[in-house]
Amino acid sequence: MRVELRADPFDPYAELARFEAEQPGQAGKHGATSIFVGTMRDVNEGETVRTLWLEHYPGMTERELSRIADEASRQWPITQALVLHRIGAIQLDETIVLVATWAVHRAAALEATRYLIEELKQRAPFWKKETLDQRARWVEHNTPG
């Protein structure tokens, strides 16, 4: 299990490849990989969004993410999990979050990844502030899945 906060932009696909390369013992051990990539988009609630600021609670955020990953690994027979989440200033089209799980079969991987992203959105202490054309606003709630 790996959970990390990132202050700089990252390529989720390069991160996946690197993470797999760092798990040589896992070669041949999983038959399914499920990934979710959340990306900064240009519209929210009908208004054009220019940039995003992601605030977090240092310490608690990492703790809550690790707890969610532990819960997923207890509920499903996943062999690995990776959660990377941006903090700070984010530009259009940059990756905000990457969640990936590996398992022998697809059901465990698909369900565990869904659980991780949904619980993260409900529980992990992150807050988004959007810069619009003329003003900035805090996002008050996440959109339903």
Partner 1 sequence: MSIRIRYFASLREKMGRVEEHIAPEGIATVSDIWKAVNQGRPLPDNLLCAVNMEYAEATTAVSDGDEVAFFPPVTGG
Residue 55 binds partner 1 (CB under 8 A) = yes
Residue 96 binds partner 1 (CB under 8 A) = yes
Determine the 3-state secondary structure of 41 from DSSP.
Answer: coil
CB 60, min distance to partner 1, A: 4
Give, in order, the Cα–Cα distances in Å from 56 to each of 29, 72, 124, 145: 35, 22, 9, 22
Residue 117 binds partner 1 (CB under 8 A) = yes
Residue closer to partner 1 (CB basis): 54 or 100? 54
Residue 139 binds partner 1 (CB under 8 A) = yes
Q: Which of 3, 34, 56, 76 binds partner 1 (CB under 8 A)?
A: 56
Determine the 3-state secondary structure of 23 from DSSP.
Answer: coil
The two most distant CA atoms of the chain are separated, in Å, by 53
